[in-house]
Amino acid sequence: MNFPRKRVILAWHRWMGLVSALFLVVLSITGLALNHTERLGLDTIQLKHSWVLRRYGMAAGSEIEAYRIHTSDTLAHLNGQLFYNGQPLTSAATPLGIIEGDPITVVATAHRLIYLSRDGQLIESLHHSQLPYSKLIAVGRSPDGRPILVAEGANWSPDADWLEFEAYSDSYQVSPLTQTELLPSQTTALLEAFQGGGVSLYRVLLDLHAGRIFGWAGRTVMDLTALAILLLVSSGIAGWLRKSRRKTPTKP
């Protein structure tokens, strides 16, 4: 009566061991490599494969949104960052409006006002906690040409220096930003600035060792593997102890 149960347990034990062995191989190889990082130069090898870059949030060029600014310059947005002529500017959401002025040009996003000089230098970035509204919806113009910040609950008109804001309730017109196409050389320069040298092989192996490279699913698999190994070890020791107790000592 106990034999079928034993066969089921042995079958589960065998398959659990085989599956765990696969992940143990990954853990062993990555662990050995990480222990010899300096000798192997893992922290000097940079990976730029598209799959690796996507896993680390370094998006492809198709996600770039670019706008013309200061006549011949370019303001681009990629994965939560703004770039001026391909150079990193600041972290920000997608621009809702660009209000060019002299000496200050303002880039308006949902939660920030970003002040730039005429040559694209960052002057200041104001968070919505420093502004009279919590979220901007659009940027418009009054009939006399003044910029109007269309926010949730109220509209606001800034002074010439963008230091004071007064409530605005008259008519206005909104003109959405028009995107512009980047040249291939501009796209390449922007991606290089965004991606830097890529992702080091050391970082990839470390995240592979812990399962983090596959997000929560990878961490869960590694956790389950660790539990399976503990179960295999404990069941193996328990089986060995049972067999040793059943053996009867032979008399000389």
pLDDT range class, residue 246, cuts 50, 70, 90:
low
Side chain identity at 91, as an amino acid letter? S
pLDDT given for residue 106 in this prediction: 97
- How many angstroms from the chain centroid is the CA of residue 109? 20
pLDDT given for residue 239 in this prediction: 67
Judged by average pLDDT, the poorest of 47-51, 90-94, 130-134 is 47-51
Distance between CA atoms of 221 and 246, rounded to whole angstroms?
A: 37
Whether residue 93 is contained in a domain is answered as yes
- Are both 99 and 173 inside the same structural domain? yes
What is the total count of domains within the chain? 2
Distance between CA atoms of 73 and 82, rounded to whole angstroms?
A: 13
- Which segments of the chain are extended strands (E)? 46-47, 65-69, 73-78, 81-84, 87-91, 97-99, 105-108, 112-116, 122-127, 136-141, 147-151, 155-158, 165-168, 173-174, 199-200
The larger pLDDT score, comparing residue 224 to residue 6, is at 224
Distance between CA atoms of 81 and 125, rounded to whole angstroms?
A: 13
Please state whether beta strands 105-108 and 112-116 pair in parallel, antiparallel, or not at all (unpaired): antiparallel
237 has pLDDT over 80: no
Range of the domain at 161: 59-195
Distance between CA atoms of 208 and 14, rounded to whole angstroms?
A: 25
Whether residue 251 is contained in a domain is answered as no
236 has pLDDT over 80: no
**What is the arithmetic mean of pLDDT over 142-153?**
94
Whether residue 252 is contained in a domain is answered as no
pLDDT given for residue 107 in this prediction: 97
- Are both 126 and 203 inside the same structural domain? no
Distance between CA atoms of 84 and 120, rounded to whole angstroms?
A: 6
- Are both 122 and 190 inside the same structural domain? yes
20, 92, 142, 218, 219 from 163: Cα distances, Å: 63, 20, 19, 49, 48
Other Cβ atoms less than 10 A from the Cβ of 166: the count is 9
Handedness of CA 92, 116, 114, 105 (dihedral sign): negative
Dump pLDDT digits (tens) for 22-48.
777 877 888 888 888 888 888 777 777
pLDDT range class, residue 1, cuts 50, 70, 90:
very low
- Are both 71 and 187 inside the same structural domain? yes
